Structure 1
Amino acid sequence: MDFKMTWAMLGEHMDEWSGTSYDQAAVVLKERVGSAVATSGMAPETQEHFRQTFLAPLRESLAAEGPTAIESGHCWSAAAGPLLVALSPAA
Structure 2
Amino acid sequence: MTFKMTWALVAEHADEWTGDDFSQAAAVLERKVGAAVTASGMTPEAQEHWRATFLAPVRDLIPAAGKSAVEAGRDWTKAAGPLLVSLAPAA
For the pair 1:5 / 2:27, whether they are aligned, the reply is no
Same amino acid, percent of matched pairs = 59
Cα-Cα RMSD: 0.6
Alpha-carbon distance in 2 for matches of 1:51, 1:67: 22
Q: What letter matches 1:16 in structure 2? A: E
Q: What letter matches 1:68 in structure 2? A: S
**Alpha-carbon offset, residue 68 of structure 1:** 1.0
SS in structure 2 of the partner of residue 52 of structure 1: helix
Aligned pair count? Answer: 91
Aligned structure 1 segments of 4 or more residues deviating by more than 4 angstroms:
none
> Unmatched 5+ residue regions in structure 1?
none
> Unmatched 5+ residue regions in structure 2?
none
For normalisation by structure 2, the TM-score amounts to: 0.97
For the pair 1:28 / 2:28, whether they are aligned, the reply is yes
Q: For structure 1, which segment, 74-83 or 55-64, has the greater mean C-alpha deviation from structure 2 after superposition?
A: 55-64
Q: For structure 1, which segment, 60-69 or 16-25, has the greater mean C-alpha deviation from structure 2 after superposition?
A: 60-69
